[in-house]
């Protein structure tokens, strides 16, 4: 019998907890080098939409990522989308530090995962949306202020870019 409510499917994924995470996030239990932070929190107070739409609302986002070996991460973000709907994004990510040898503080990252939340009359605002769930790929560029604090810009396709800060702990 198919699930009637997408929120029930999301609850099942969350309830499966670490077992689900280990399968999608190889290295979940592997140690990081001594003294390396294990988690990251990203917070964004500002999103700029490429095109004006009077239905757009300000987007606020908070994510928590578990850092893994080889500059990989797994995480979840909670946010209100551009239309004020509660939304979530579960993802895996890869960061590439030291890509620009001239600017060692600059890094690039890309995350890929499943976004949930664009429903009702806004379901067609994201491609491949089925029942509120859609795949997403989000590239970003960051600047490390120090070992624990970064500024970052995330590019949300043809819709917008998001500015925020990352804290490692």
Q: d(Cα 69, Cα 33) in Å, to the nearest integer?
A: 9
3 state SS of 166: strand
Name which of 66, 62, 17, 63 is nearest 37 in CA terms: 66
Q: Can you tell me which residue has the tokens 């870019």? A: 161
pLDDT digits (tens, 9 = 90+) for 41-74: 999 999 999 999 999 999 999 999 999 999 999 9
State the pLDDT at residue 7. Answer: 53
30-54 exposure pattern, b = at least 16 Cβ within 10 A, e = fewer:
eeeeeeeeeebebebeebeeeeeee
Q: Give the residues of the chain that fall short of pLDDT 50.
A: 1-5, 13, 19-22
Q: d(Cα 124, Cα 128) in Å, to the nearest integer?
A: 8
State the pLDDT at residue 29. Answer: 85
State the pLDDT at residue 11. Answer: 52
All structural domains of the chain with their residue ranges: 36-168
60-85 exposure pattern, b = at least 16 Cβ within 10 A, e = fewer:
ebebebbbbeeebbbbbbebebbbeb
pLDDT digits (tens, 9 = 90+) for 123-138: 999 999 999 999 999 9
State the pLDDT at residue 23. Answer: 66
Q: Does 36-168 carry CATH code 2.40.160.20?
A: yes
């Amino acid at each position: 019998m198919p699930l009637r409510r997408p929120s029930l499917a999301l609850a099942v994924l969350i309830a499966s907890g670490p077992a689900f995470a280990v399968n999608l996030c190889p290295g979940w239990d592997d140690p990081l080098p001594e003294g390396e932070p294990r988690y990251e929190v990203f917070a964004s107070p500002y999103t700029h939409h490429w095109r004006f739409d009077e239905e757009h609302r300000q987007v606020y986002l908070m994510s928590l990522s578990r850092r893994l070996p080889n500059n990989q991460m797994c995480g979840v973000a909670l946010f209100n989308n551009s239309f004020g709907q509660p939304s979530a994004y579960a993802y895996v990510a890869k960061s590439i530090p030291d890509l620009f040898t001239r600017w060692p503080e600059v890094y690039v990252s890309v995350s890929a995962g499943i976004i949930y939340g664009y429903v009702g009359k806004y379901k067609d605002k994201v491609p491949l949306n089925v029942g509120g769930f859609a795949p997403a790929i989000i590239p970003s560029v960051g600047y490390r202020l120090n070992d624990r604090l970064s500024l970052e810009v995330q590019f949300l396709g043809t819709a917008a870019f998001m500015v925020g800060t990352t804290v490692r702990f």
